[in-house]
A and B are shown apart, each in its own frame.
Chain A
């Protein structure tokens, strides 16, 4: 008889190899970033912090990092407000027409990003938003909003709407009922949506390749250009820092999911 809760040994061995294959490429950049050599030898011939100095000491890289961070923070916050409002309305409406708008609002996830990038470039070229901070933020609001809407909708569907009805029948208006009764209970879903929108904006490369430039280049655009030209261990240092950021975010999401229970 086979153990009902486990899986066959061969399957587990295969999964172990697959998981190592998933995780090793992410971890491999860490030792490379501390290498003393210019070329990418493994294991590194010696250790140094020179590539971190090359990153932190470069005004161009720092400006790019600053741009990316500002864009990610602003875009994820705006996407959270707009997306939560939209999700609340989608959930509240009885109308089929309104509910079908959900598909429209999730379009940024469905349309291949290159096409989105070309479209945004087209609009920005007409209104003069190319190479501006505003342009970058707006584009990332659009790209991050679907994550907020999806996540908040999941939260709202788990939420018992009679609580809100009770609050309103006791005399609260919709705003107060939302902020004092609904929001505290769906907060984990909202936070998850924000984190997804943040990471999406921080990671966004393709739209930035088309619309960012001049003083407002994002970190990813600079990295992409650097990677196309030559492989420099500075990229490994930046990659290690970025991986650290995403690791912290995963932990935040996990901790946040725990509060949901």
Chain B
């Protein structure tokens, strides 16, 4: 990064040195440019989050832990969190197993192939989530395409229950989130110099050994970034469990929305949000010990 450094010490400490008028103008400008963006996020996101944090500790008569006690006593809470984590694990693992080869082949191939492969990843990525959820409904429902094809082939007698359950939810969520795995993986793999592998091979390593000892470790930042994104996004997913879950998947996101839409229970909804948010932050925190946060979010 080319960045001219001023000789003065970092400007965020206590102001021990006097600022030149030029520096003061610069600071005011930075502040002015950031203000609209910070105002939008501050008013629409951070302020309500703080309010929800406070509200989650409010009972009928002031301070109370009643909303958090439900996590221990209400079995719906527990089963909802368990189901959400189970689906998130399955989706992340499957996305890694499917996404890694896709990114690998795209990074390794030449000529017209990388844009074609990436295009086939990007078109679904840019297609509305609702459209993709709808497509899976068409494919997986009782008299849907998959069932009728299997019946025509004589593989099954009665239609399989593929949708309105956890299977349908998992399938559609995986399909929707797979690009979030492929894209960071591809970015990480493109940074691996091809000469390293040639060198490994020339020293006598066979394909698998070279892959395992050189390529795989160097692609790990992409693995971490993709896995974190997919896992965290699944934890908060709402549309697929709602449309394809058929009432049998009751994820944390639905627990939040039901508490507000049906019961107007702000305290309960707030406490669930706080717990979910803490989990998400903890995952990002852990991941950022391994690779910079900016790299997970793709700014670097």
Contacts and interface: CB of A to CB of B under 8 A. Distances in A.
Interface in B126-172: 126-139, 141, 143-145, 148
A54 to B, nearest CB: 15
B71 interface: no
B298 interface: yes
Contacts of B74: none
Contact of A104 (B38, B145, B206, B239): B38
B6 A94 contact: yes
B203 interface: no
Contacts of B178: 22
Interface in A79-136: 82-83, 85-86, 88-90, 92-98, 101-123
Interface residues of A, number: 102
Nearest to A139: B44
A105 B38 contact: yes
A42 interface: yes
B41 A105 contact: yes
A139 B44 CA distance: 7
Most central of A18, A22, A157, A242 by chain B CB within 10 Å: A22
B1 interface: yes
Interface in B1-24: 1-6, 10-12
Given A86-B33, A115-B276, A150-B298, A19 B45 contact: no
B37 A243 contact: no
A117 B2 CA distance: 40
A116 B134 contact: no
B4 A162 contact: yes
Given A112-B277, A239-B135, A246-B123, A119 B52 contact: yes
Contacts, number: 281
Interface residues of B, number: 97
B223 interface: no
B121 A22 contact: yes
B128 A145 contact: no
Given A6-B108, A120-B48, A220-B128, A104 B101 contact: no
B45 A111 contact: yes
A22 B175 contact: yes
A224 interface: yes
A202 B133 CA distance: 16
A197 B32 CA distance: 22
- Interface secondary structure of A, over-half rule: helix
Interface in B26-61: 26, 29-31, 33-34, 36-38, 40-41, 43-49, 51-52
A111 B49 contact: yes
B29 A89 contact: yes
A153 interface: yes
Contacts of A12: 105
A11 B207 CA distance: 13
Nearest to B117: A19
A114 B44 contact: no
A223 B40 contact: no
Given A25-B136, A85-B37, A98-B12, A119 B49 contact: yes
Contacts of A115: 49, 52, 236, 256, 273, 276-277
A249 to B, nearest CB: 6
A153 B111 CA distance: 29
B243 interface: yes
Interface in B247-300: 253, 256-257, 260, 266, 269, 273, 276-277, 280-281, 284, 293-294, 297-300
12 contacts: A5-B109, A96-B10, A110-B281, A119-B48, A119-B51, A122-B266, A154-B300, A231-B141, A242-B127, A243-B131, A247-B126, A250-B126
Interface of A: 1-2, 4-8, 11-12, 14-15, 18-19, 21-23, 25-26, 28-29, 32, 39-42, 82-83, 85-86, 88-90, 92-98, 101-123, 138-139, 141-142, 145-146, 149-150, 153-154, 157, 160-162, 165, 174, 199, 202-203, 205-206, 209-210, 220, 223-224, 227-228, 231, 235-236, 239, 242-243, 246-247, 249-250, 253-254
A-B interface, 10 closest residue pairs, ranked by CB to CB distance from nearest? A112-B236, A119-B48, A89-B33, A86-B37, A25-B135, A246-B126, A239-B131, A95-B12, A114-B253, A97-B12
